[in-house]
Amino acid sequence: MTPKVLVVEDEVDLIELLRYNLEAENFSVATAEDAEEAMLRIAEATPDLILLDWMLPGTSGIEICRRIRARQDTARIPIIMLTARGEEEERVRGLATGADDYVVKPFSLPELMARIHALLRRSNPQLIAATLKAGDIELDRTTHRVRRSGKEVHLGPTEYRLLEYLMGNPGRVYSREQLLDGVWGTDVYVDERTVDVHVGRLRKAINRGRVKDPIRTVRGAGYAFDEKFVMS
């Protein structure tokens, strides 16, 4: 089952960034730019989670949150509020209105994705796979452990996130820039060649002995987790 996320946001660039990263992790994404469109999207197909911007044109995200919580058929949908308001009293107000979590802009994409996974694990655990498996590689999202052919593979935090990101959508080619945004986040400046360094470390860790390399280099484009390896 593919988890459905509704993004309610009026910044077009942010909508596309969130859509790209959510779809990369196999979420189905719907979008809305105001309250009327948001309620229409919810009526069309109930989402499993809502990313809701506080500052929207016309009706605010706070009021949309109240409306969602007031309806019996939508009251239990998990909501993460996205906002530039970072003061404690504003966070308390957002949570008191019914938001399940509160993320301040600018935010780290990896952190936001982790919060989405954590919230869905609590609200609807069957939607989020705790384990990713491909060929003889197994990645446990709960313990952050990786095994290959039953043997534990020791990875640093960045190499772990990189492997998880690539395994989330086998066959999809990611440019270095896309990997930087998805793994490091958009709020951190890192040189694109840093990606090559960490891919090299990841390969060294998971390819000990005479085993097949699951990471495919696409010249001039980037990297992908080989879909043929998944079927092996």
DSSP the chain: ---EEEEE-S-HHHHHHHHHHHHHTT-EEEEESSHHHHHHHHHHS--SEEEEESS-SSS-HHHHHHHHHHSTTTTT--EEEEES--SHHHHHHHHHHT-SEEEESS--HHHHHHHHHHHHHHH-GGGS-SEEEETTEEEETTTTEEEETTEEE---HHHHHHHHHHHTSTT--B-HHHHIIIII-TTS---THHHHHHHHHHHHHH--SS----EEEETTTEEEE-HHHHH-
157 compared with 231, residue with greater pLDDT = 157
Residue type at 179 in one-letter notation: L
**136 with 102, same domain?**
no
pLDDT at residue 231 greater than cutoff 60: no
CATH number for the domain that contains residue 174: 1.10.10.10
In the predicted structure, residue 186 carries a pLDDT above the cut 70 = no
> Which of residues 91, 123, 155 is at a domain's end?
123
We report the CATH number of the domain holding residue 69 as 3.40.50.2300
Q: Is the pLDDT of residue 125 over 80?
A: no
* Residue range 59-86: mean pLDDT, rounded: 90
Do residue 9 and residue 111 come from a single domain? yes
Residue that terminates a domain, selected from 73, 98, 123: 123
State whether 226 and 140 are in the same domain: yes
Residues 147 and 117 in one domain: no
Using the predicted structure, report yes or no on whether residue 177 has a pLDDT greater than 70.
yes
Give residue 95's domain range.
4-123
45 and 72 part of one domain? yes
Q: Residue 54: is its pLDDT beyond 70?
A: yes
Residues 73 and 176 in one domain: no
Choose the final residue of a domain: 123, 139, 160.
123
75 and 171: one domain? no
Q: Are residues 160 and 109 in the same domain?
A: no
Q: What is the pTM of this model?
A: 0.63
**Residue range 131-146, pLDDT digits in tens:** 888 889 999 988 889 9
Both 62 and 169 in one domain: the answer is no
- Note whether 37 and 72 are same-domain residues: yes
| Pick from 119-133, 137-151, 208-222: least confident | 119-133
Q: What is the pLDDT of residue 85?
A: 72
The pLDDT > 90 percentage for the chain reads: 47
Same domain, 68 and 161: no
Query: Of the candidates 208, 217, 211, which has an alpha carbon nearest to the alpha carbon of residue 232?
Result: 211
Residues 18-53 pLDDT 10s? 999 998 887 889 999 999 999 999 998 889 999 999
Q: Are residues 147 and 226 in the same domain?
A: yes
Q: Please tell me the total count of domains within the chain.
A: 2
